[in-house]
Amino acid sequence: MSEPDTDYFSSLRSEKHMSLTTFRRNGEPVATPIWFAEVAGCLYVRTAGHFKKLERIAEDPSVTVAPCTENGEVTGAVLTGVARILSDSDPVIEAADAALDRKYPDERPAMTQLLADNGWPGIYVEVRAPAAS
């Protein structure tokens, strides 16, 4: 895997929320406002393991991301990306988790507790810039 373009997602760095759009089998887009953090030019999100967006990413890793409001209203440029679901043993999870903790120090504990209380595994997703052609 090539090194990520560390500037590709720079327009999202100061944003609190991003719209992550995945695609159904029929190509219909499904946008979700989500928290994220950047590590070494890649974006990382943590989501509950039962959410359909993970099934869509497994089926088609093409995604788009854009800055958005908490309610999902897109507020800036839409960028394409390639997502992958990380295995529990992926070494980047530690850095991604720390970056999310730094970015959302007040919100993350409650979200982590919600996942634990409901028995939902927290699954990490990495979004990379598309490969240069």
Distance, CA of 93 to CA of 7 (rounded, Å): 21
What are the sequence ranges of the domains in the chain?
10-128
Distance, CA of 39 to CA of 44 (rounded, Å): 7
Residues 55-78: pLDDT tens digits? Answer: 999 999 999 999 999 999 999 999
Distance, CA of 65 to CA of 63 (rounded, Å): 7
Domain 10-128 part of CATH 3.30.1060.10? no
Phi, psi of 109 (to 5 degrees): -60, -40
Distance, CA of 12 to CA of 20 (rounded, Å): 12
pLDDT at 117 over 50: yes
pLDDT at 1 over 60: no
The model's pTM is: 0.89
